[in-house]
Amino acid sequence: MRPDKAFAKLNAGTTYREGRSSPGVDSIRWQDVAGACQGLDEIAWLVALYLWANDQMAGSRLLVQAEAMARGLGFEGETARKMACVAMIEMKDLACALCRGAGEVQVSEHRREVCPACQGHARRAMSEHKRARWVGIPRSTWRANYAGTYEDFLGQFVAAKHRAVNHVHARLGTDD
């Protein structure tokens, strides 16, 4: 089940509209996401509100946390800030078009499978070239010194998103 549908199911006041060009997303209310995600750790909670409730305040707080995480990985100053920005953009705006960022797709009424388009990463990968350009690092330097760490960094947010998705499914008492 996609998170948007799950949120709607958790809140009877929200109507999930199947077949829209952007299914359900703008019909989700902040309260639906916040309610469904109660009890999550802070990062997963902020990721959920940022991704699914379009909460700019949560996005700003997440950016601060992300920057601190990037510094924890050894990146400094402007580079840490830009890496945090790119990871947040990648996580949100480059969500896989097929699963819409859930990492899984519904294949029958009671079954979901790892998304065949993104292999569960829930995102379209940004090219190394583009990442390097956005952070302002020469491509060869990026490849040699940044690429692997950036993947790990981004992976922490992808993991937080999965925690949020699993949390919502657990609250629904279902795994389809």
Residues making contact with Zn ion (CB under 5 A) = 96, 98-99, 115, 117-118
Q: How far is CA 19 from CA 23, 25, 150, 163, in A?
A: 6, 12, 35, 26
Residue 139: CB minimum distance to Zn ion, A? 27
Closest CB to Zn ion among 66 and 118?
Answer: 118
Closest CB to Zn ion among 49 and 96?
Answer: 96
Closest CB to Zn ion among 83 and 115?
Answer: 115
Question: Exposed e or buried b for every residue in 21-54, given b needs 16+ CB within 10 A?
Answer: eebbbebbeeebbbebbeebeebbbbbbbbbbbe
Closest CB to Zn ion among 41 and 175?
Answer: 175
The burial class, CB within 10 Å (0-12 / 13-18 / 19+), for 129 is exposed
Q: How far is CA 169 from CA 3, 7, 23, 33, 175, in A?
A: 8, 9, 18, 12, 6
Residue 106 phi, psi dihedral angles, 5° rounding: -80, 120
Residue 96: CB minimum distance to Zn ion, A? 3
Closest CB to Zn ion among 4 and 67?
Answer: 4
Residue 94: CB minimum distance to Zn ion, A? 11
Residue 92: CB minimum distance to Zn ion, A? 14
| H or E element in which residue 166 lies | helix 147-172
Residue 162: CB minimum distance to Zn ion, A? 13
